[in-house]
Structure 1
Amino acid sequence: MTAIALPSSNGTIRPLILGDPADLAPRSEPAASRMAYAAAHVVADPLVASAAGTPGQIDWDSTLGLRHRLWDLGLGVAESMDTAQRGMGLDWPAARELGRRTLAEARSRDARVLVGIATDQLPPEAAGLAAIQDAYLEQLDAIESSGGQVVLMASRHLAKAARSEDDYLAVYSAVLKEARRPVVLHWLGSVFDPALAGYWGHADPAAAMPVVRGLIDSHRDSVRGIKVSLLDADLERDLRRQLPDGVQLFTGDDYHYTDLIAGDGQHHSDALLGAFAVVGRHASAALARLDSGDEAGFRDILAPTETLSRLVFAEPTRYYKVGVAWLAYLSGAQSHFRMIAGFETGRSLGHLGDLVRAADAVGLFPDPESAAHRASAYFAVHGIA
């Protein structure tokens, strides 16, 4: 294989010869010792995708094909989440259609799906608490009527409208009382979405923890678990120790997932991760080791992927979706590198080059020759040869 010229974020261009793919043994059955969901992204139709917001930007066949790839690895799919550009190109009508299509595909093979709901059918300007509650309930009914179980995502509208923790509790309590199936809550930090700063009525997440715990305690039968995406492993460990029996903590920490999933002998986190949409083969193979009681083997496979994941989720973290799509393209999971709403412009060419190096270091690419050709051609179009 010939060397390819790769730009880097430090402004240099250096050659790289891609190595062999990692020797892994993923499996198609879901893990028994941990519940694991990958938050999947959306493949754009390259002919119409643009920042102008042209309707019909989703390539449905390719998008659903990605979900089947994850199910083939024994992973569940977390649908219509922020990884799918929810609120960053994917609006509620598209998210609803995506959820319904994925649920239908999942039923054909008895696969696991969770579908995100939010309040994004409301206009971006301020909304009252009653309107926010109704928006949540509309989305809850739409997904549950399609046979789905939901992730109750954080609301930008509620973050703007709420004046105290009581406002959060009132809205969430009203929604949880109407849920027909147990719900997964989602605590998404401002590092992922700056508009969510001060969620639950407190700027300090530690101060917000009793609010979250109280909500769960008050609606124990309606809450299956909570996804925590704060990139604070110590806070996550503290919260999971406090959860009632039977309530799962799904880690959304794309920096520290190996330790959190492995656990401390008493408590562990399950997984609902955008990172697993990137390192799905590694995650599947690692979880198989954990199921067999081989924690060291689990760590040997999964821990090295955290370096790649930290780069994918580097600040500004909301642009991590670019890395997910870029690596899917280089891995052959999609035929192009365009994103809905032109979101691919959120990362520099140097960052994309860094991702190629980090991905190669863990043997991510199943066909290194193809990955090298695609990366080389893309950079050449931008004047890097």
Structure 2
Amino acid sequence: MTLAQPPVAPAPVPRRMPAPESHDLLGLVRDLIRREIRPVAAEEEAAGTFPRELFSRLSATGLLALPYPERFGGGDQPYEVYLQVLEELGAARLTVGLGVSVHTLACHALAAFGTDEQRAWHLPQMLGGGLLGAYCLSEPQSGSDAAGLRTRARREGDEWVLSGTKAWITHGGIADFYTVLARTGGEGPRGVTAFLVPGGARGLTAAAPERKMGMGGSPTAQLHFDEVRVADARRIGEEGQGFAIAMAALDSGRLGIAACAVGVAQAALDEALAFTTGRRQFGRPVADFQGLRFMLADMATQIEAGRALYLAAARLRDAGEPFGQQAAMAKLFCTDMAMRVTTDAVQLLGGYGYTADFPVERYLREAKVLQIVEGTNQIQRAVIARHLVGPEQR
């Protein structure tokens, strides 16, 4: 296959105007992206480099703490604003956007269900002390069937002893703390309890990172718990409450994935617009051909629909209203949309889109994982249907 030299891309297409309350914050985030994230994103992803120092800076500037209370070191920002920040980070580099979302998810259990003493002791360091978190629910034999987890915790005096294996853990092996769901009682969701486990706990080891088709800079690994001892003071919530805690966290986490998906899709559209308006074929810009113009119009419309959906769900959450159904809808729609948009972006760039010289092939590979994490999109459909017609009859 012989390709001509790629055209010089014009200036980036202007982005939407942020909501007034997030204008200054998003300006700071975009400046950080321009200086520190975008220039090295392609190189570090190709090399499989995790930007640990960047996450320390994000922590120091408060960007790992946005939706949590100020009294515990959080930013006291509405979820609507936090998600817009995630979208920007996801557009620049999904490893960063998804990493912030996972860290926020890992803090949720303690912030929402911990005691006042636990929150005062742990949250300031978790939110602004340079620490990085991970969330441990999935296991090799229980991905979508989260209630079937087998990692066990038995009580010995004032300690719990954890044994088992967790799988598909983002930041596995490099996190400073893990929110871990383990079985303390009988089978099913009522026998699960949540724990806050230090990353350096004795008996906790990580397997080699998974070899993935995308997000090479974000480590994903199994974690092995070999008689890991955790003080009862690190138990979150009541015994047997862990599954409810996990599901509450996932409702919020799904919105984070939706926002990241919109970011990836927006980045792909921006690249496709720059290419098709700058490249000429048959004496005119490629973007002048009606078939391609319609593709671009459809891509932009789908992105705006996804953005509106995740923001609407965030407003429900900010108002204290139920939002689980809308979170599942947002995760489902936005991630399926990102897959379509990134596929079309590769097509619009033609042969260039299939090369690593342009980022759209990376966006396509990254979009795929978003249809899987935080509950596959088949699970999202089951969640939505359950809200509509009730539990399945067995």
Shared fold by TM > 0.5? Answer: no
TM-score (norm 1): 0.27
Asked which structure has the greater CA Rg, the reply is 2
Q: 1 or 2, which has the higher helix percentage?
A: 2
TM-score (norm 2): 0.27
Give the number of the structure with larger relative contact order, counting CA–CA contacts within 8 Å between residues 6 or more apart. 1
